[in-house]
Amino acid sequence: MKGKLKYVLIAVIVAALIIATQFIDIQARLTDALRWIDNLGPLAAIVFIAIYMIATVLFVPASILTLGAGVVFGVVMGSIYVFIAASIGASLAFLVGRYIARDRVEKWIAGNATFQAIDDAVADEGFKIVLLTRLSPIFPFNLLNYAYGLTKVTFKDYVLGTLGILPGTIMFVYVGSLAGDLATLGAKGADVETPGTVQWIIRILIFITIAGVTFYITKIARKALNQKLETQTDSSVE
């Protein structure tokens, strides 16, 4: 009975979060939070990291926070703060998935060869699999946080594999820095100073370079991951 109540509680929380997003403009609230953080001085980084962590655990899309970090903190420090916050938030979500629902998943995949193969693949090469999926943006960040908690991957491999979010983090923080003003992220028609031609050329070249590297890594990651899962599935079937 306690086990059933646990899953009912999880379902209620998830449903509440989904319903809340329908009535609350999450992105607008996060933009307001960024404006508040921008005026906090020395405490700005700590508060930003805390809010980002909470958003990650609550399954709230934090893209506006990632972009906003580029405006508030700049590319270098913004990338560092986002990476720290996302990593801690992802770890907390992993632990929630691991200790609340893992037992149910083990029973569910017991008779499913494909899911069992994926679970075994993650157990055998946890760091590699986590790293590859983190490098590829086709895998939703928040979903993976909880999903990996339901697999056999070790916490150590999971944390180390989360380093794969760095290329994408840097790219999105840089894109946010191009806005130059939080008003550009959160409102339309904002009056923002237009950069000079040379400055824009430099920005575009840097963006193309970062994007090119990120998408190249993504292509390699996707190919390697598919090969690994196909091999693992074939061996399980045999």
Domain parsing of the chain, residue ranges: 2-9+25-185+208-237
> Confidence class of residue 50 from pLDDT cuts 50, 70 and 90?
very high
- The arithmetic mean of pLDDT across residues 166-170, rounded, is 88
Q: What is the pLDDT of residue 86?
A: 95
> Confidence class of residue 142 from pLDDT cuts 50, 70 and 90?
confident
> Residue 53: which of 191, 45, 135 has the closest Cα?
45
> Confidence class of residue 235 from pLDDT cuts 50, 70 and 90?
low
Give yes or no for residue 193 having a pLDDT over 70: no
Give yes or no for residue 225 having a pLDDT over 80: no
Average pLDDT across the chain, whole number: 75
**Planar angle of CA 95, 77, 164, nearest 5 degrees:** 45
- Residue written as tokens 């430099």? 202
Q: What phi and psi values does residue 61 have, to the nearest 5 degrees? A: -60, 125
How crowded is residue 39: how many other Cβ atoms within 10 Å of its Cβ?
9
Least confident of 18-27, 97-106, 143-152, 202-211: 18-27
Give yes or no for residue 80 having a pLDDT over 70: yes
Q: What is the pLDDT of residue 58?
A: 82
Give yes or no for residue 238 having a pLDDT over 70: no
> Confidence class of residue 125 from pLDDT cuts 50, 70 and 90?
confident
- The arithmetic mean of pLDDT across residues 115-139, rounded, is 74
- The arithmetic mean of pLDDT across residues 167-188, rounded, is 76
Give yes or no for residue 47 having a pLDDT over 90: yes
- The arithmetic mean of pLDDT across residues 176-190, rounded, is 65
pTM given for the model: 0.70
- Residue written as tokens 């100073």? 193
Q: What is the pLDDT of residue 151?
A: 82
Using CA atoms, how far residue 154 sits from 36, 52, 130, 165, 190, in Å, is 38, 24, 10, 18, 47
Q: What is the pLDDT of residue 81?
A: 96
- The arithmetic mean of pLDDT across residues 24-52, rounded, is 86
Proportion of the chain above pLDDT 70, given as a percent: 57
Give yes or no for residue 192 having a pLDDT over 50: no
> Residue 214: which of 165, 168, 174 has the closest Cα?
168
Q: Is the dihedral of CA 171, 174, 179, 182 positive or negative?
A: positive
